[in-house]
Amino acid sequence: MLAKFTYKTGDRPLPGYTIKRGIGKGGFGEVYFAISDGGKEVALKLLLNNVETELRGLQSCLNIKHTNLVQIYDLIKDADGNPWIVMEYVAGKGLDALIKEHSNGMPEEQVRKWFPQLARGVAHLHDHNIVHRDLKPANVFIEDDNAKVGDYGLCKLISDSQQLLQTQEIGTLYYMAPEVTQGVYGKSVDIYAGGIILYEMLSGKVPFDGQSAMEIISKHLTAEPDLNKIPVPYRPIVGKALQKKPEMRYASIAEMAKDVEKAGRPPKVIPVPDSPAPGLPPVVLPVKQPTDWRLIVSEICGSFGLAAVLAFLWMIPWIAVEHVMQENRDLTEYGAALFLISLTSWAVLAVSRVWHTVKAESWLMRLSYLVAGLGIGIAAAWLHGWSFEIGTPMSESAGVFSSFLADLGQACPLPGAVFCYMTFFAVGLAIPQWWRITDPGRCKRFSFWPVLVAGFGATLAALFWPESAFTGPQSWVVGFVILVATAVIVQLASPWRPPPVKTTRPVRYVLGKKGGASYVQN
């Protein structure tokens, strides 16, 4: 049964406009196709419900113009005081109708053409600090291969001071972002709705459906979309747009549109010259992106500075504990320890950053850390005041292996203690997988497991620690603390880009009526 409109063909509720037919009815009123006295085709929208909400949105959208937005011409009141919106008439089909024509998903070339267009229209609203808030296929129209976003009735200026919403103002539940249930909204609300629309364009169905409003809302808040129903190139795009946390989504819908345009494109083809077999298809070669060494140097310098600060902070409780235990060292020894912690952290950060850029086998990576440890061992021996003169006899107090080193005697040109220092740091740095715990893409910024591994490596390396280093027979503990401190500091000082987090949590919802308007509450 067709909906009955208030006005019929030939009526003139507004001066200068003649109604030709009714074209739609909704929660806010009725829409008519009309002709002005000058012959211009327009759409007239009569506001019947929630007039205050509709007008509040229109006042911020009246002067917005964009090729991908349905233009609003004017706001006029009739003789009875009812407000009418005079806007551009779009003769094409709605995007919802086109999606219904493709029950298994629209052709990808159409998706890559029309979604970026509607995204550009919404981005123009965002540039004017406006959120659409009712973005859905029924509000997107295709005319002459051009997508136009319409129905600005729920538009609202972005404002941190306005946080309460009612469900009558938040648009269709199928496209509602999770944070809207808590009265929080922003540009990310439209990005989430854009992700739903993109999913629907590609699969013919919305990702979250249910038998009741409560079920749909619950799925928005807790369920993950089934990305297997859409083509592979678009899965990371939709997955990012439909993150439960707004901060995990795209920073802008324009950025999302760029990814959609690039998705599904064939890889760049570089033909091989002087091919011995003409007629064969060209060979696809990967295009290697140039390494930005300035960015790498900038990151390393920033990590070095932070590592030095953390090393200094590490020394404060160390000095305090030894002061309480009345085991005060000379300040030069504390300075030497601070320098070694900083130097070891810098060596690990520098070597790791190189391997993040140039991938290699794990044995080669370990070898590079071992070589760095040898250099740190020389620096440690120098700080302790050992001589580096060639042919100096080995120390008789060179730890557990002192007898073995003494037997080497004149065979090794380095003093025994210098050899011990070098061996200690070489072994201590070769055992942990430093390249993983400093990887910017690691799962966590900080983990205790690498600290335990570093402690284990230091314990093994302690077999080579000279007993006369620093003070006391248990002086290898100082080296142990240096390597453990390094494992803590490099994790905190190295860059980290957290991966998208999938969050699911049990939530209790109440759906009811209050004051004549529906509401949702946690």
Among 52, 36, 53, 34, smallest CA distance to 44 is for 34
- How many angstroms separate the CA atoms of 185 and 202, rounded? 26
8-state DSSP, 35: E
List the beta bridge partners of residue 47: 29
Burial class (CB in 10 A: 0-12, 13-18, 19+), 354: middle
Q: How far apart are CA 166 and CA 182, in angstroms?
A: 10
Mean pLDDT of 187-193: 93
pLDDT band at 358 (very low <50, low <70, confident <90, very high): low
Please give the positions annotated as active site: 134
Q: Which two tokens stand for residue 299?
A: 């990151």
Q: Which of 364, 368, 485, 487 is nearest to 426 (CA)?
A: 368
The matching CATH number, chosen from 1.20.1250.20, 3.50.50.60, 1.10.510.10, 3.30.450.70, for 93-266 is 1.10.510.10
- Better-scored residue on pLDDT, 200 or 514: 200
Most trustworthy range by pLDDT among 266-270, 292-296, 460-464: 460-464
| 189-215 mean pLDDT | 92
Q: Is the pLDDT of residue 48 over 90?
A: no
**126-165 as b/e, with b when 16 or more CB fall inside 10 Å?**
beeebbbbbbbbbbbbbeeeebbbbbbbbbbeeeeeeeeb
Q: Does the structure show a pLDDT above 60 at 59?
A: yes
Read off the pLDDT of each residue in 311-338 and give the average, rounded to a whole number. Answer: 76
In angstroms, what CA-CA distances link 337 with 118, 315, 342, 484?
61, 8, 9, 13
CA–CA distance, 119 with 106 (Å, rounded to integer):
17
Annotate 111-147 with DSSP letters as a single string. HHHHHHHHHHHHHHHHHTTEE-----GGGEEEETTEE
Q: What is the mean pLDDT of residues 92-106?
A: 91
Q: Which residue has the tokens 């504390």?
A: 334
pLDDT category of residue 191 using cuts at 50, 70 and 90: very high
Residue 330 CB burial class (10 angstroms; 0-12, 13-18, ≥19) = exposed
- pLDDT one-digit tens code per residue, 81-95: 889 999 999 988 899
Reported pTM: 0.51
Answer whether CATH 3.30.499.10 is correct for domain 17-88: no
Q: Which of 226-230, 312-316, 486-490 has the lowest mean pLDDT?
A: 312-316
pLDDT at 507 over 90: no
pLDDT digits (tens, 9 = 90+) for 15-30: 999 999 998 887 678 8
Please give the full DSSP string across 482-502, using - where no structure is assigned. HHHHHHHHHHHHS---PPP--
Q: Please give the pLDDT value at position 519.
A: 42
Strand partners, 75: 85
What gap in Å lies between CA 365 and CA 357, rounded to an integer?
Answer: 12
The residues that bridge with 442 in the sheet, in sequence order, are none
pLDDT score for 234: 94
**pLDDT at residue number 206:** 94
Higher pLDDT, 518 or 269: 269
470: amino acid identity, one letter = F
Distance CA 45, CA 142 (A): 19
CB contact at 8 A, 143 and 92:
yes
Residue 512 has pLDDT above 70, yes or no: no
C-alpha–C-alpha distance, residues 237 and 234, integer Å: 5
- Is residue 283 predicted with pLDDT exceeding 60? no
Q: What residue segments make up the domains of the chain, in order of their start?
A: 17-88, 93-266, 293-493
Residue that has been written with the tokens 């407000």 in this structure: 83
pLDDT at residue number 446: 87
- pLDDT over 90 percentage in the chain: 29
Mean pLDDT, rounded, for 357-384: 80
Residues 6+ apart with CB under 8 A from 79: none
Q: What is the pLDDT of residues 108-162, one digit of tens each?
A: 999 999 999 999 999 999 998 888 888 999 889 998 889 999 886 555 555 443 4
CA–CA dist 332, 428 (Å, integer)? 24
Q: Which residues pair with 77 in a beta bridge?
A: 83
Please choose, from the candidates 233, 239, 151, the residue with its C-alpha nearest in 3D space to the C-alpha of residue 195.
239
Closest CA to 45 of 61, 64, 60, 26: 26
Pairwise CA distance, residues 135 & 150, whole Å: 9
Same fold, 17-88 and 93-266: no
